[in-house]
Amino acid sequence: MLLNDPLFIVAAIASLVVLAILIVGVGSFAKGGEFNRKNANKLMRYRLAAQFVAVILIVAFAWFKTQG
């Protein structure tokens, strides 16, 4: 079962972190204002880093599952 696999849980949490950063970034972009001006690029850099980690974890999970 997937919920018993720690790598799956970590990959799922990493994916949720990416989603949260994306929602905050898009929400601040839509609202505009001072927060968006100060933090838009920083939020998208954080999203890229979190997304990189999430993709690596997902690929590792898939690779380990195919190895048996």
Residue 1 has a pLDDT of: 80
Q: Is residue 56 part of a domain?
A: yes
Tell me the one-letter amino acid at 32: G
Residue 6 has a pLDDT of: 95
pLDDT tops 80 at residue 68 = no
pLDDT tops 80 at residue 2 = yes
Is 5 in a helix, a strand, or coil? coil
Domain of 49 in residue numbering reads as 2-62
Residue 54 has a pLDDT of: 98
Q: Is residue 68 part of a domain?
A: no
Q: Is residue 67 part of a domain?
A: no
Q: Is residue 38 part of a domain?
A: yes
Mean of the per-residue pLDDT values of the chain: 94
- Report the domain count for the chain: 1
Q: Which long-range contacts (CB under 8 A, 24 or more apart) does 59-64 make?
A: 60/7, 60/11, 61/5, 61/7, 61/8, 61/11, 64/7
